[in-house]
Chain A
Amino acid sequence: MSNHAVFVMSAYLVALVILGGLLISSLAARNRVRRELAARGLERSREQRAKAS
């Protein structure tokens, strides 16, 4: 890539950080809420689901 490589790679890095961050935070939030539901007996925990399957 030419002397503009730093701009191209920075752009892809920005996209990776923002979209990857969204994915990671979404998965973390889902796991947190599911753990809380499981603690209240409203949903089976991951361990319980694994045991059942």
Chain B
Amino acid sequence: MADLHFLANPARFRRLSQRLLPSLSFATVLMLAFGLYLALIQSPPDYQQGDTVRIMFVHVPSAWIAMGGYGLLAALGASLLIWRHPLAALMARAAAPVGAGFCAVCLLTGSLWGRPMWGAYWVWDARLTSMLLLFFLYLGHIALSRAYDEPERGDRAAAILALVGVINLPIIKFSVDWWNTLHQPASVARLGGPSIHTSILVPLLWMAVTLLLLFVLLVLLRTDTEIDRRRLENAEQQA
């Protein structure tokens, strides 16, 4: 916790992020190149899903990151409301569009998987609907944080939405257990270990780490920009 308080200073955070960004970009590109090779060429077709299983290597990590990203928004919201950390609001502004992007990837790739497997691009299934709600929560956060003339008021309103909306995360996770859904139950994060074969699990986890690095890279880059934008706004107010 002391480290988090240490990083809450925007200047300190910037120095760290500017040191991290080049190596993070390099690692992401390398991992993405090998991940695409694993996902599209090296991994075998599934015995039931055939080649459509390759969509899972993008769809599932995007879902995990979209949910984790919303968890981050809620943590930043709490940090803003409780400790008034100056960086929390800026990072939340930076992270919300990135999380929304991953959520959109999850919904659209899931839809493209659903057409050949279920015969429909969309069904009002509990898992799909709760994921769509997560996307709307992201859009609400983006809209609310920009809805006020005073950015601080927008940041506080968006932080409250992030904290209220976090209730949707367990609903997404357990929707396949609580309701009779078309969406398959958990096959990786479950008691008793993953139920999928290693030949599918390895590219899936590789792509998950790769897309997580991309998420971190995008959030650091955008937070850096938000810090500069706030400096610019302060300079404009003083002029």
Q: Taking beta carbons and an 8 Å cutoff, which residues of A are in contact with B?
A: 1-2, 4-5, 7-8, 10-12, 14-15, 18-19, 21-23, 26-27, 29-30, 33-34, 36-37, 40, 42-43
A18, B101: Cβ atoms closer than 8 Å = yes
Nearest-CB distance from A18 to chain B (Å)?
5
Q: How many residues of B contact A (CB 8 A)?
A: 34
Chain B neighbourhood of A4, CB < 8 A: 50-52, 116
* Interface presence of B98 (CB below 8 A): yes
Instruction: Specify which of B52, B108, B115, B228 is in contact with A30 (CB 8 Å cutoff).
Output: B228
Chain A residue nearest in CB terms to B227? A33
B229, A33: Cβ atoms closer than 8 Å = yes
Chain A neighbourhood of B112, CB < 8 A: 7, 10-11, 14
* Interface presence of B62 (CB below 8 A): yes
Chain B neighbourhood of A29, CB < 8 A: 222, 225
Chain A residue nearest in CB terms to B58? A15
B108, A11: Cβ atoms closer than 8 Å = yes
Nearest-CB distance from A6 to chain B (Å)?
9
What is the total of A-B residue contacts with beta carbons within 8 Å? 83
B228, A37: Cβ atoms closer than 8 Å = yes
Q: Taking beta carbons and an 8 Å cutoff, which residues of B are in contact with A?
A: 40, 45, 50-52, 54-55, 58-59, 62, 97-98, 101-102, 104-105, 108-109, 112-113, 115-116, 211, 214, 218, 221-222, 224-225, 228-229, 231-232, 235
| 15 extra interface residue pairs, beta carbon distance < 8 Å, beyond A11-B55, A30-B225 | A7-B112, A11-B112, A12-B58, A14-B109, A15-B109, A18-B104, A18-B105, A22-B218, A23-B214, A26-B225, A30-B222, A34-B228, A36-B232, A40-B232, A40-B235
B109, A11: Cβ atoms closer than 8 Å = yes
Summarize B's interface: helix, strand, loop or mixed: helix
Q: How far is the CA of A5 from the CA of B196 in the complex (A)?
A: 22
Q: How far is the CA of A8 from the CA of B52 in the complex (A)?
A: 6
Nearest-CB distance from B160 to chain A (Å)?
25
Q: How far is the CA of A5 from the CA of B235 in the complex (A)?
A: 53
Chain A neighbourhood of B97, CB < 8 A: 22
Chain B neighbourhood of A19, CB < 8 A: 101-102, 105, 211, 214
B228, A15: Cβ atoms closer than 8 Å = no
Chain A neighbourhood of B62, CB < 8 A: 15
A33, B228: Cβ atoms closer than 8 Å = yes
Nearest-CB distance from B39 to chain A (Å)?
8
User: If the complex has contacts A2-B45, A12-B40, are A26 and B218 also in contact, measured as CB distance less than 8 A?
Assistant: yes
